[in-house]
Chains A and B, each alone.
Chain A
């Protein structure tokens, strides 16, 4: 069974631009969660989707948004990028909210 895939793997953007990251969960998984990981802040929860509905949300500004499609694939968008948005963005999928999560390799975003 294929694992969680994330695209792109690496991205370089300029301050003020916007970016969209994509995540394809394991087949059959209906929950997708997004995390931001930085050396100083560790693993920070962004949001979680289940069957196209946002079920949980972390403490990030409105510039961070996401959505989930009917095939469970998910995207997250960051608008008006700031230098502090440079991070590894991880996507995880699971059968249900609160269950065991399987992580993708992440997207490394660098904002210059």
Chain B
């Protein structure tokens, strides 16, 4: 069965510190992997995507993610967090096979000054 697990419900980091948000997935076909960000009261914005090729993908706002097939993971990273990064982050898996896109439960990021 298709599933996405984001183990951390919320994370707090200091401004300027590095960030890593975890994501593990299970998918019955070739996976496409995504990270979305949602600011309060807003819709979801696509941060980055992985379809194939280089397993390290760059996204907007200085984010990157690494696809590790052996670990079924697609963790999101940022070297230096800004206060404006405080938001909720969703990992998602889609792909071939006609299956619906599956979203994780989300990780809320708090940034402290």
A residues apposed to B, CB below 8 Å: 4, 33, 35, 42-43, 45, 48, 55-56, 58, 90, 92, 97-106
Contacts and interface: CB of A to CB of B under 8 A. Distances in A.
Closest 3 CB pairs of A and B: A98-B94, A56-B100, A103-B43
Contacts of A97: 94, 98-100
Contacts, number: 61
Contacts of A33: 100-101
Interface of B: 32, 34, 36, 42-46, 49, 90, 92, 94-103, 105-106
A102 B100 CA distance: 14
The residue among B44, B45, B95, B98 with the most chain A CB atoms within 10 A of its own CB is B44
Given A98-B99, A101-B92, 10 more contacts: A43-B90, A90-B43, A97-B94, A97-B99, A98-B32, A98-B100, A100-B46, A101-B34, A101-B46, A103-B36
A102 B46 contact: yes
25 contacts: A33-B100, A33-B101, A35-B103, A43-B106, A45-B100, A56-B98, A58-B100, A97-B99, A97-B100, A98-B99, A98-B101, A99-B32, A100-B32, A100-B34, A100-B49, A101-B92, A101-B94, A102-B46, A103-B36, A103-B43, A103-B44, A104-B43, A105-B42, A105-B43, A106-B43
A87 B12 CA distance: 26
A43 B89 CA distance: 12
Given A43-B106, A98-B94, A56 B99 contact: yes
Nearest to A98: B94
